[in-house]
Amino acid sequence: MRLDIDTYKEIADSLLRNKRRSLLTGFGVFWGLFMLLFLIGGGAGLKDLLSKTFSGFATNSMIVVEGQTTKPYKGLKEGRWWDIDYRDVERLKMMVPELDVVCPMISTWGSSVVYGAQTSSAGIKGVEASYKEVETVNLKYGRYINEVDVAQERKVCVIGKRIYNELFPEGGDPCGKYIEVGAVQLRIVGVDFNSGMMSINGQASQSLVMPITLAAKLYHRGSKVDLLCLTGKKGVKMSSLEPRLRSVMGRQHLFDPTDKPAMMVLNTEQIFSIVDNLFRGLNFLIWLVGLGTLLAGAIGVSNIMMVTVKERTVEIGIRRAIGALPQEILMQIILESVSLTIIAGSFGIVFATFMLRALELIAKSTFQIGFWTAVAAMLLLAVLGVVAGLAPALRAMHVKPVDAMRDE
């Protein structure tokens, strides 16, 4: 074997060619890790956005609204309308003890609210004090409607964030001040800054809440209410209570309990369950796509290292001839493979973090990956680097000086 300058030039040219190939292969690892982390961060951000949408709303709640019958019942024809009565509250509490809260609501939309020269529009909600267990409040000032307000029909109210900003643009505590709702003056006792997008009969930021007894008088409802808000006790599945609720209400208001349109039920427990299942499937898809892309990058690394070993047969033979141990050759190839994957992966982490940060600024939500997620990704890359370099390293370890001379 000739150990002249031409031989060493050939080895150097081979290394340079392999570096260029390694750069292209490293891009596959970079792209795979970027896709994985970007999808993880994007999924977390999407979940955060939906959490904000559902924030402040009981996950074990149910909304009951009267409907139109579609089946005849006890001699009565289909197509009848019926009304939820205030007495249904105590009836359900007695007949369905698994319920924790049974809160009636009276509501209207588009009411004008005036304070001095400032005006706003609001959706009116007449509720009991227990409504805060259904839709959690976030009080900026004051308090919420209490039982004494309801019992004494007090002319008090709690206003939402948007109403507060429009009526009091200068800010400050508005509690104790009076606003006009139609021909009635109401004293503000609280300001609710709940920003959740999911609500009953209007968003909290655009709602004015008053005692239901006062709302019944102002809007001439008598004992009629628009809907019932229910929550179950801890550990109770609301879906299991629906047949009993339909039976109790059907027996009292004379409609077939199996007539679904006669009593419309919105079960938020099912909505939250659908969302949870959606994110489980999304997470599975994210990991499937991300790991698949990473695996493709690792296969590319393995292939390029295999080509590297083949083109460096002369170099490896020289090293073996001058005393290099097979284990040293093995470690060299594996370390090259691991270094390639980690360096490319590090750029992937940086780029994914940068892109997620840009997405945060646009969507105003949390689109980021955790520190330990990045650490786990680096460890995964190291393992993939070892696996990718193992087969080429074993091939290099078995290169014999005689074979190198024959190739030369």
* DSSP string over 335-389: HHHHHHHHHHHHHHHHHHHHHHHHHHHHHTS-----HHHHHHHHHHHHHHHHHHH
Tell me, yes or no, whether 10 lies in a domain.
Answer: yes
**Is the model more confident about 397 or about 281?**
281
pLDDT band for position 8 (50/70/90)?
A: very low
**Count of domains observed in the chain:** 2
Q: In 55-107, which residue ranges form alpha helices assigned H by DSSP?
A: 87-95
Q: Of all residues in the chain, what percent carry a pLDDT higher than 90? A: 35
Nearest residue to 18 via CA among 307, 355, 390, 404: 307
Average pLDDT over all residues of the chain? 80
Tell me, yes or no, whether 119 lies in a domain.
Answer: yes
Boundary of a domain, candidates 187, 221, 253:
253
Distance CA 17, CA 297 (A): 19
Q: In this structure, are 228 and 284 located in the same domain?
A: no
Q: In this structure, are 20 and 91 located in the same domain?
A: no
Q: In this structure, are 131 and 224 located in the same domain?
A: yes
Pair of tokens at residue 116: 């001095």
Q: In this structure, are 242 and 315 located in the same domain?
A: no
Q: In this structure, are 192 and 302 located in the same domain?
A: no
Q: In this structure, are 211 and 277 located in the same domain?
A: no
For residue 210, report the phi and psi dihedrals to the nearest 5 degrees: -135, 165
Provide the domain limits for residue 11: 5-54+273-407
| Interval 144-179: pLDDT, tens | 999 999 999 999 999 999 999 999 999 899 999 999
DSSP H or E stretch at residue 119: strand 118-127
Q: In this structure, are 216 and 287 located in the same domain?
A: no
Q: Return all residues near 57 (Cβ < 8 A) that are at least 6 apart.
A: 134, 135, 136, 196, 198, 199, 268
Q: In this structure, are 229 and 309 located in the same domain?
A: no
Q: In this structure, are 375 and 240 located in the same domain?
A: no
Distance CA 245, CA 293 (A): 51
- Among 22-36, 76-90, 332-346, 355-369, where is mean pLDDT lowest? 22-36
Nearest residue to 41 via CA among 348, 283, 350, 367: 367
Q: In this structure, are 111 and 235 located in the same domain?
A: yes
Q: How far apart are the first and last CA of the chain?
A: 7
pLDDT band for position 237 (50/70/90)?
A: confident
pLDDT band for position 4 (50/70/90)?
A: very low
Distance CA 34, CA 351 (A): 7
Pair of tokens at residue 374: 């990045």
Q: In 96-237, which residue ranges form alpha helices assigned H by DSSP?
A: 147-151, 161-167, 212-218
Q: Could you count the other beta carbons within 10 Å of the beta carbon of residue 133?
A: 16
Taking every pair of Cα atoms in the chain, the longest distance, rounded to a whole number of angstroms, is 110
Q: In this structure, are 130 and 226 located in the same domain?
A: yes
| Interval 274-333: pLDDT, tens | 777 777 887 788 778 777 777 777 777 777 767 666 666 666 666 666 666 767 777 777
Distance CA 141, CA 143 (A): 7
